[in-house]
Structure 1
Amino acid sequence: MLSTFLSNEELSVLTGRKVKSKQIESLRRMGIAFFVNAAGRPVVTRSAIDGRVDTAARQAWQPKALMR
């Protein structure tokens, strides 16, 4: 079974880069959604590159309006 996230090797192949900062730069230029983990490495979900819509997409937080 495939992991939810791309491996470091797959990320290197996708971006053509091995250095974390260059991978991040390439992902931004390609418009691929990612986040940076605590180690400073970019993390990409498989659904971000194979066209599937993430069913667990979070909605932006909005404050509840105060009513009088």
Structure 2
Amino acid sequence: MRYVTRAHCLILASQGVKKRELMNIFRISYKTLYNWFNRWELEGMIGLYRTYLISFARSRKIKAE
């Protein structure tokens, strides 16, 4: 349920938590944080969830081989 983590991060950001603090809380890099914010801005909640769906599809493909 990584999309829940991403949503939680965005909520904290909207409440004024600094980027550096978010990186520490969620143990993510600046690049990852940037990607989460960018997906949110471009696609909304679907953008956060879509990464989960892509990962799920890839894992199923690997298992099928």
TM-score normalised by the chain length of structure 1: 0.32
Q: What TM-score, normalized by structure 2, do the two folds share? A: 0.33
Which structure shows the higher strand fraction? 1
Flag the structure with higher helix content. Answer: 2
Whose RCO is larger (CA < 8 A, sep 6+)? 2
Bigger radius of gyration among the two: 1
